[in-house]
Amino acid sequence: MSIAGGRQKRFLFVDDDAGFVTGMAELFRELSHGAWEVFTAENHARALALLREHSIDVAVLDIGMPVMDGLEFLRLLRRTHPGLQVVMLTGLATEQSRKASLDGGAVLFLDKPAAAAGYQAIFAALDALTDAAAQEGFRGIMRRVGLQDVLQMECLGRKSSVLEVFTGRVRGRIFIRDGEIVHAETGSVQGEVALYSLLALRWGEFNLLPFTPPPDRTINGQYEFLLMEAARLSDEQSGEPPPASPPPAAIEAPGVPEQTLSAEAGKVPAASPVQIEELVLCSGTGEVLDEWHCQALDQRVQFLEQLRQQTAQISGLLPVGRFDRLEIVLPRGRIVCDLQVNRRVFLRTSRSPSPGR
Amino acid sequence: MNPTPQGFCERCLTLPGVVACALRSPDGRVQQRVSKAWFSPAQIQQAMTRLAVAADSLRHQAPDPQRICWTFEHVQIHLAPRADGACLVVFLENRPDFSAEPLEAVFGDFMNLQGG
């Protein structure tokens, strides 16, 4: 009954009724036979402090609390702790509060039991919830992150996963096996066409799910090439007027050429003249994690650090916010440097001159 | 088309999303224009010095850069360096509805004005 990896499951119960919450905590510790670590808080400040100090798996909130009720606290937690599972537990359940809780992101809405037997049912539900969370991949909110970033992280880490992407109208999945993009699908479209159309989406949500085998392998290229090609297609389209009647898949993917999105499954665009010449991947503190065809590794690493310092100075001088990336356009290629908290990337590509451009 | 530094800056400021623009002449003098109260002229002046240093340091990694773009959370800084030491810097609000594409025409004219 422990979390995958062997540690105790950590629950936080937040209720202004000290007697109730202490009694419930003792009961659940006993029922778990040591598998649960239970924390209690009688107010929001204490709850937030505990969330900062401990990696809590599930927070269980009472709805009727003074100052800030449980629903308001739920909304706050969705912003401050997006990966936290929150369960609402109330003695005054109404349809309105149930709907508000679930709409607000609570994973369960439970009534406070009137009899002891009811607590065993609650214990079982909460215990099953953490098991499900440990098995079903990630759930969270990442702001200002591109799908390319997520894919790059998965591929660089040589992971296997399924990236599920959805917006109001478009839904799709990208399959990554051992760090290679092997399949993508959206609607009836598959392969690279589907991949490029999904990567051209400007907004949406994603879920990173455990790997399941795709129906077919429809993509074979190197992930670096595929991501660069997707970026190139988006760049090329960004300067062109939108099509008069975009196909359904293109409504939220203005960065991809119309013929790409409406192409038949498996038909890929013409080969790109873009080639990756050099790639360096460092940790957030500058240790080299991986490199490809880099002839001047020390120089690149020093440059990434210099870039960090320079951009930190500019951020300190102007209200421009956090630095994200540097792009240098060269006569026949470009350099992209991506600086994030946990990684630094130096990528140099070249491009053969193409007719008509 | 106005080939004066002030003219380039004026022209940039008419483009959507541009919040400030500055031009450094080959002799090091800086002309600037700010369209929104995001930055003060003094901040732009200091930033130009830093950006010029940064652009120079890039030449070791990337000889003959045509455009340099630093993307920050709220602003993109586009820099077009000319071989004579002049550079045109445009501060563009970093929002999906603002594209850097319209800047290319201004940058193109600026680059063609070598020695001007």
Q: Which residue has tokens 């540690």? A: A7
Chain B positions touching A322 (Cβ under 8 A) are: 72-73
Asked whether B103 and B110 are in contact (CB, 8 A), the reply is: no
Tell me what pLDDT residue A291 has. Answer: 78
Whole-model pTM: value is 0.47
- Could you count the other beta carbons within 10 Å of the beta carbon of residue A238? 13
Q: Helices then strands (H, E): number in chain B?
A: 3, 5
Does the distance separating the beta carbons of B70 and A319 come in below 8 Å?
no
In this predicted model, which residue has the larger pLDDT, A353 or B63? B63
Contacts of A114 (CB under 8 A, 6+ apart): none
**In a structure prediction context, what are the per-residue pLDDT tens digits for chain A, which is 357 residues long?**
555 456 788 999 999 888 888 888 999 999 898 889 999 998 888 888 898 888 888 999 998 887 778 888 888 887 777 778 899 998 877 888 888 888 888 888 888 887 777 888 888 888 888 776 554 444 444 445 677 878 888 888 788 888 888 765 678 899 999 889 999 998 878 888 889 888 887 666 777 777 888 988 999 888 888 888 887 776 665 544 333 333 333 323 333 333 333 333 333 344 445 778 888 888 888 888 777 888 889 999 999 999 999 999 999 999 999 999 999 999 888 899 999 887 888 998 887 654 443
Q: A321 and B75 in contact by Cβ < 8 A? A: yes
Residue in chain A nearest B54 by alpha carbon:
A310
Q: Find all residues with CB under 8 Å of A322, minimum gap 6, and list them.
A: A315, B72, B73
Contact state of B72 with A317 under an 8 Å Cβ cutoff: no
Q: Which domains does chain B have, with CATH numbers?
A: 5-73+80-99 (3.30.450.30)
CA distance A332 to chain B (A): 10
